[in-house]
Structure 1
């Protein structure tokens, strides 16, 4: 019997949620390729859309992103980041 996790109608076979903080982009890519990961947390501040490296380039499209506002110093900043 499979015990899949279902969130909002989306079925996950693994309950392993990778946290992307404090890891290099290459380490994240390696874990995603080898760890049967289906979900990853992503600090919106880390999704550098105009800088040198972009973490999103290391995350395959089939991985579900769980965005967060870590690094915000207060509620106003968290809302702005989001």
Structure 2
């Protein structure tokens, strides 16, 4: 039920915003809007369905912690 409600809200948001972007021929903005709306919708559905999802902050920590330590060693 929650997923259906979320879908309705997403459709309403798209129906309110997309026609103006299309009318004014703002194609790049429409693409960015669509990408962000779909990304948000996907993340919301994942949260509603209680699916474990990889946290992007953890990925960045794993990448940049060794880089930070290396820079610290070079500078000291």
TM-score (norm 2): 0.26
The answer to which structure has the higher strand fraction is 1
TM-score (norm 1): 0.24
The answer to which structure has the higher helix fraction is 2
The structure having more radius of gyration, on CA atoms, is 2
Q: Does 1 or 2 have the higher relative contact order (CA < 8 Å, sep 6+)?
A: 2
